[in-house]
Structure 1
Amino acid sequence: MTTEERYRGIIGWFSENMPVAETELHYGSAYELLVATILSAQCTDKRVNMTTPALFERFPTPQVMAEASAEEIFPYIKSISYPNNKAKNLAAMARKLVDDFGGVVPDSVEELQKLPGVGRKTANVVGSVVFHREVMAVDTHVFRVSRRLGLTRNAKTPLQAEQQLTAHIPSSLLPKAHHWLILHGRYVCTARRPQCDTCGVRKWCRNPVVPAEKG
């Protein structure tokens, strides 16, 4: 099977079977998605969604958060992974967002990455979800699933995986494809026990797990 055939088959299956694919993070504005995405690093969306209601009630705008210290933010996110660092990043991010961008989340992936705590993945998530930028955010799920399926080859870093994926997936589908791969990795192609026997794209997968024979 050629790489083009693999991509065509997998994209076709997802297009037909998962026409709607969206982030599972709860948000009501670009600011809220930015905060939630920063918190989601090495943490589940479920945990983030349990945390953000109280956080956004206390810090409803960048201006309010910009006036807070990391110590004031910490109690609201203490159940999140790495709360100390993330509290510092949120405080610094809000201040820069207010000082340099007038409190308005920039719609440029490059500008987003100037904010503390915002790396390429976070910028791509916000850029694609809120501003419909045709970019591919690569998190741990996307990195793992794209490698297993054979969509990437010998990609050592998220950036290398992103470059390979964007080279083969139509640009208009990149934002949706990001969620296809995340959701597939979260619920089917899981890290420890991939559900290969029920996987819809198994026929195009380079590394399907062969189920053990019964009896």
Structure 2
Amino acid sequence: MWESYLTGLFVCGGIIMAIGAQNAYVLGLAIRREHHWWSAGMCISADIVLLTAGMFGVSAVLLTMPSAMEALRWVGVVFLSYLAAMAFIRTATGRQGLKAAAEKSRSLVQVLLATLAVTVLNPQVYLDTLLLIPAIGAQQSSASTFVAGAATASVGWFSLLAWGGARLSPWLSRPRVWRSIDGLIGAMMAAVAIQLALGSAFLN
């Protein structure tokens, strides 16, 4: 049983940490202290729901809808490209851009909707949580324990992003450092968008 838990914890933890769009978005919110714990909670909830669904057969249904996945892929490309562009604009405007953004702080609902969009509009999330991870889980002695391990990894990782980003916010929000972080976030978002546009996510 513990072997299944540890497999879910470490293997799924590595996969979750590799989903750059979610990580970059939550970290950006944490640095600005903009409803970051709510956003992290949304990501955790989505992971648990998708992982559980994948282990109980949704992956088989997903494979029968290639046209839906294709449409979702292009919506994801557009949305992630938009997020990348916004990050690059913040990189260019620097501290003044941050002050302007602070004056127009988004509501909790807006942040949650954006977090949900970053999650559900990235087909890689479905490939990982509904296909790849269940394939690994099916080889374990206890599916429920495996999912518990995977859920623990998600809780730990997104909590670390939310806490760490907010904790280091005074240092990370310095103009030069923030520009570098925004540039990195923009690059990550753009890389995911390009990967989706080229269809390489479906070839892994």
* TM category, shorter: under 0.3
More helix per residue: 1 or 2?
A: 2
Asked which structure has the greater CA Rg, the reply is 1
TM-score w.r.t. the length of structure 2 is 0.24
TM-score w.r.t. the length of structure 1 is 0.24
User: Which structure's relative contact order is higher, taking Cα pairs within 8 Å and 6+ residues apart?
Assistant: 2
